[in-house]
Amino acid sequence: MAERLADAGARVLEVPVIEIADPLDQGAALLRAISRIEEFEWVVFTSANAVERCWRHLGGGRALGGVKVAAIGDATAAALAGHDVVADLVPERFVAESLVEVFPDPVRPGEAQVLLPCAADARDVLPNGLRDKGWRVEVVEAYRTVRPTLDAYDFASLEDADAVTFTSPSTVNGFLELAGAALVPPVVACIGPVTARAALKAGLSVDIVAAVHTVEGLVGALALWAEQEGAPDGGR
């Protein structure tokens, strides 16, 4: 995203506010679930991070056998494609609610199983929605988002920023915990409605929400805002 923003004419300040870490059990539950992969009719991936964590245990796309695969978002589908797997289902809108809407009903309600490897702090919308449809959903913690150590980071440099981009609720919360609300730039741009709701809940005003919930969509929305509003003072 930093490269795309720079190509669009922005001066980019990168602030790492989350790190991807192993689950608390070091992946033991995920390994157990993957070893029973043939018991599931579907595996649902909500992020590229979940894909990569699972492939540590799968080893190859053929290990999925006849299990169908759903992915939320182009980036997640691209991560699967990197392992020679074409997602069977990708919703038009890259949010959990949209996947629930288009997910098929089970032939054997109450028996058919879905594996959902996800972040430790993932929302309950997806598993609850699939259960309401009659699926048995096994939620497995594949990774955690944690706060990085930024002792040497110069947060004062953020005072000149005109806008901030948030790509997930965890980046909203991480920024506020590490930098504080006083250093939030005047314009807040969010990758989609879930992130925007997290920002609003945290007390921020949201100026931009990407219509297409991808990095490209967010960069495009921010570039359109800059074009409509004009270059900020000082050309930042």
Summarised one tens digit per residue, pLDDT across range 9-65 is 899 999 889 999 999 999 999 999 999 999 999 999 999 999 999 998 887 666 787
Q: Which CATH number fits domain 21-146: 1.10.1040.10, 3.40.50.10090, 3.40.50.261, 3.30.70.20?
A: 3.40.50.10090
Q: What pLDDT, on a 0 to 100 scale, did the predictor assign at position 235?
A: 41
User: pTM (2 decimals)?
Assistant: 0.77
Region at 91 (left for phi over 0; alpha for psi -120 to 50; beta for the rest):
beta
Which part of the chain has CATH 3.40.50.10090?
2-18+148-226, 21-146
Q: What is the DSSP string of 152-207?
A: T--GGGGGG-SEEEE-SHHHHHHHHHHT-GGG--SEEEESSHHHHHHHHHTT----
- Distance between CA 219 and CA 189 in Å, rounded? 9
| Segments of the chain with pLDDT less than 50 | 234-236
Q: What pLDDT, on a 0 to 100 scale, did the predictor assign at position 173?
A: 93
Q: What pLDDT, on a 0 to 100 scale, did the predictor assign at position 195?
A: 94
Q: What pLDDT, on a 0 to 100 scale, did the predictor assign at position 234?
A: 41
3-state secondary structure at position 60: coil
Q: What pLDDT, on a 0 to 100 scale, did the predictor assign at position 56?
A: 87
Paired tokens of 60:
């190859």
Contact 121, 145 (CB under 8 A): yes
Under CATH, which number does the domain 2-18+148-226 receive?
A: 3.40.50.10090
